[in-house]
Structure 1
């Protein structure tokens, strides 16, 4: 990460983001999605957000990367306060594939996804000096950026059925996960967020996925990963719904770069929620995604006049319908 081809302006930026969360909460039109989330992760930490579907995991991930606006508590990413500096946090963070937000296009080939992301990266993140470079130099820089990201994500293009011309629909789940992470890494983010890390993976593939995320964290990137079951060596933030409305998560096997404080609470009815993203808040524009209409998405204020305290299946369905493809 941080190769010479990107330019001095990128190399001078510090790598890895400190994430500090205190009493963080997000409420949708139908109730609280998550509440009272508190933890601290230093640069290079691997943070696993663990819990069942519908417990607010994905919404927490989107809020901490500046793509959803929280209403309660405080959070800082690399010293940038949320929600006041959401746009700035989006610039230093990146998402792996998140269903309904920045999914891979099944009709695109791996090469098309990589080239599109490189072009978008140059368009939105490149300096004026970089834009004035000769076409051959810009192409070489883009190729170097692609190669670096693919290598860091452990994506072996030669091992794919048709090499880089393989369509996304023909990728295995782990290969698709690696591709989505490679696309995210092209922006050299300080915070990498990955949704559904262990979804539909065999035990062997799950071990490979966590080994990949550990390697990225060891290289300095702070990693935030949503999962159903966290590995023992991660800073574990557990989101669980319960009859009492409160749950105390565990932080076990915490690396030296992270503290062990973590607290989340949910409303009693949250366990009835449909699959994430959760109840009713809409993600902000994701300028790190490869979708060509990414920067047309707008931040929509969460409804403030709703007094319902429960998160319901209908609320989650509303959120899915509102989110669409960013």
Structure 2
């Protein structure tokens, strides 16, 4: 893999409002490259929408953010180029019909096709294949996934993976593109305490390589930079114990996520979205990505 260059993540009064209310609002952060950032909160509190907005997949409606020097919402396409997105239900998921080896090869192929310079496409086929295999091997090592430990090695079906193995595979695929920001949704979903600790250790190791990590979770580790989300009260104010950092509405989040998943697809693909949308992020790409929930 290429040498990683982590993306600084900054936001001020960052928010997204849909027809049913705020998915999240009032988010503020100033994280250096290589930071470990956790978005902590209950399901339905705007966590996923915040992750999608900070990775350039959903258009915010309030405030601004900056990822790797690219300002949101104006430079959403540029942010998508440097932000790799792990599985998000209904948006970007592992293909359960593939084997692990097939999923990795597909990821490498897409990265080569959409992310590699033109001169790389002109190299001999054997050289390209060797380069892809080396990239996959490096990504697997960084993700801590040893194919030899799987029941059928690389021929193991994705659907047969344990939850932590799926997380590691997702991280490996994301790292194929040498991103500046790695973002994962529902990191601790269906993980035991031991597995949760392993997952966070994995993300710490990725951050130690210089890549900024952003992970949605129900409980953040003590050493992470934490953004907390909380459901909104009926009167629109934060609950009595809710931090001021961010607040969300379960209905608003669900509708915003559904609109993102129902878009054209080019704005939410983790591997090749950056080449298939207009450079004018304030019009075509952003509107398709967010539909009604995120239009200004």
**What TM-score, normalized by structure 2, do the two folds share?**
0.87
CA deviations on 1:90-110 (whole Å, 9 max, x unpaired) are 000101111111111111000
Task: Provide the residue aligned with 1:137 in structure 2.
Answer: 127
Q: How does 1:66-85 map to 2 (within 5 A)?
A: 66-85=56-75
Answer yes or no: is the 8 Å Cα contact 2:177–2:271 preserved in 1: no
C-alpha distance in 1 between matches for 2:255 and 2:194 = 27
Q: Pick one of 251, 255, 262 that aligns with 1:273.
A: 251
C-alpha distance in 2 between matches for 1:304 and 1:190 = 27
Answer yes or no: is the 8 Å Cα contact 1:27–1:70 preserved in 2: yes
Task: Provide the residue aligned with 2:292 in structure 1.
Answer: 303
Task: Provide the residue aligned with 2:270 in structure 1.
Answer: 288
Answer yes or no: is the 8 Å Cα contact 1:155–1:178 preserved in 2: yes
Alpha-carbon distance change, 37 to 140 in structure 1, aligned in 2, over 3 angstroms: same
C-alpha distance in 2 between matches for 1:288 and 1:280 = 17
Alpha-carbon distance change, 107 to 303 in structure 1, aligned in 2, over 3 angstroms: closer
- In the alignment of these two chains, the number of paired residues is 279
**Structure 2: gaps (5+ residues):** 278-283
C-alpha distance in 2 between matches for 1:94 and 1:156 = 22
Cα drift, residue 276 of structure 1: 4.9
Answer yes or no: is the 8 Å Cα contact 2:44–2:254 preserved in 1: yes
Higher helix proportion:
2
Question: Could you say what secondary structure the match of 1:37 adopts?
Answer: strand
Cα drift, residue 303 of structure 1: 3.2
Task: Provide the residue aligned with 2:146 in structure 1.
Answer: 156
C-alpha distance in 2 between matches for 1:146 and 1:45 = 24
Answer yes or no: is the 8 Å Cα contact 2:5–2:210 preserved in 1: yes
Q: CA RMSD in A?
A: 2.6
Cα drift, residue 289 of structure 1: 3.6
Task: Provide the residue aligned with 1:104 in structure 2.
Answer: 94
Q: How does 1:153-192 map to 2 (within 5 A)?
A: 153-192=143-182
Question: Could you say what secondary structure the match of 1:75 adopts?
Answer: strand
Answer yes or no: is the 8 Å Cα contact 2:13–2:28 preserved in 1: yes
C-alpha distance in 2 between matches for 1:222 and 1:277 = 28
**Structure 1: gaps (5+ residues):** 3-10, 251-261, 307-326
Cα drift, residue 29 of structure 1: 2.2
Alpha-carbon distance change, 214 to 89 in structure 1, aligned in 2, over 3 angstroms: same
**What TM-score, normalized by structure 1, do the two folds share?**
0.79
Q: How does 1:1-326 map to 2 (within 5 A)?
A: 1-2=1-2, 15-243=5-233, 245-246=237-238, 263-266=245-248, 270=249, 272-273=250-251, 276=254, 278=256, 281-282=259-260, 285-289=267-271, 295=276, 299=286, 300=288, 302-303=291-292
Cα drift, residue 281 of structure 1: 4.7
Alpha-carbon distance change, 73 to 80 in structure 1, aligned in 2, over 3 angstroms: same
Alpha-carbon distance change, 110 to 172 in structure 1, aligned in 2, over 3 angstroms: same
Question: Could you say what secondary structure the match of 2:37 adopts?
Answer: strand
